Amino acid sequence: MKRNLFIEMAFLATAGFAAAQGPGYQPNTDVLGAHLNYGRGCTACHAPHSGAYGNGNAKTADPTSGNVALWGEDVASLYGKTITTGGGGYVETLPTSMAATTPDVSGLLTCLSCHDGNYAQGAMMKNRVYETLPATYGTQNFIPTLLGNDGTSQGNYLNDHPVGLNAVMGCGGQYNWDCTISATGTVQMTGAASSKFVTNYGFFVSPGTYNNTPVVLCTTCHNQHLMNVVNVTAAKSGLTPGTYATMFFIRAPYNPASGTAGSNQTAQFCRQCHGGESNEMNNGIAVTTF
C-alpha cells in the first residue's frame, strides 16, 4: 500500500461513512465494492473456464494462469520482473510462473495484473476512487491505485510500501513489537505490550510465509473480497465481536472519516506491524477510539 495513500484516504472518505461507529455496522452497498468492476463481479479476476484465455487474452496470456485460483487476468508480462519498493530497500523479483510455490504468487503477482500499470497495462485500474463522493468534495477523485504508474515517473515503485519476499516482518528491537516468530513463520503477539495491543485493537494482518519468515504482501493489509466491512472475532481482537466499517479493502476496522474527536483507529491499523510507534510500547494507556 502506498505511503501517500493514507493521506488520500482521509480526503476521499464519504460523508455517510462517518456515521458508522463500533460493531454492528451494516453496509448498504455490495461488500465486493470496487472489485465488482462495474458489474462483472467475480469474473473480472476469476475465469471459471480457461483462465486468462477465458477472459479474452488468448493472444498474449499464459495459458496456465487459470491453474491458480482460476485466475483470469494476464500476468505473463510481469514474470521475472524486478520492482524495488520502500525507498529502495526492498527488491522483489516477481515469480516466473503462476506455478511457483512462493507466497508472492497469490499475494502480489495476481494483484499487480490489475494494479501495476507499468509492466501490466491490459487490465489496469484507472486511478479513480470507487465510492461516491459528497458534493462538498468537488470533482477530485484521483487515488494512487497503480504501483508502477501513479503519477510520478512510470516504473517508479520507490514510493510504495515495502512488499515482497524481502519485506520481512520482525519482532524485537526499537521499531517492532515484543512479539515472537514461531518456527513456521507465524507472528505471535504474546509479549506484554503486543498482547495488550491485541486486546485494545487486534491483529488482523495476514503476512505471507517464506523460508519460515513472515513477509509483507498486498494481501497482508488488504482483503480483496471485502471493501467496506470487516468481521471482528474474539480470536483476532479484544474488541466487541461483530461487523465493523472499513475502507479500501483494509482487513481491520478503519474509518478515517470517523466523526469522533480523537479517533485513532486508522493509526491503530498501521501499528499492527509498526509496534515501535504504538501506545503500548511507549507506556501509553490509550485504547482504540472509534
Taking only the tens place, the pLDDT of each residue in 71-106 is: 998 899 999 999 999 998 899 999 999 999 999 999
Ranking 51-60, 188-197, 251-260 by mean pLDDT, the lowest is 51-60
C-alpha–C-alpha distance, residues 94 and 82, integer Å:
6
What's the angle, vertex CA 152, arms to CA 149 and CA 157, rounded to 5?
A: 60
Residue 161 has pLDDT above 70, yes or no: yes
pLDDT of residue 13: 41
Percent of the chain with pLDDT over 90: 68
**HSE toward the beta carbon, residue 215, CA cutoff 13 A:** 22
| Residue spans per domain, the chain | 30-159, 168-290
Residue 130 — pLDDT band, cuts 50, 70, 90?
low
DSSP codes, 151-184:
SSSTT--TTB---STT-B---SSSSS-S-EE-TT
Q: Model confidence at 55, in pLDDT bands (50, 70, 90)?
A: confident
Average pLDDT over residues 260-274: 95
Question: Distance between CA 290 and CA 285 in Å, rounded?
Answer: 16
pLDDT: which is higher, 74 or 110? 110
| Three-state secondary structure call for residue 270 | helix
Copy the grid coordinates of residue 115.
494494479
Q: Do residues 109 and 78 touch, judged by C-beta distance below 8 A?
A: yes
Determine the pLDDT at residue 199.
98
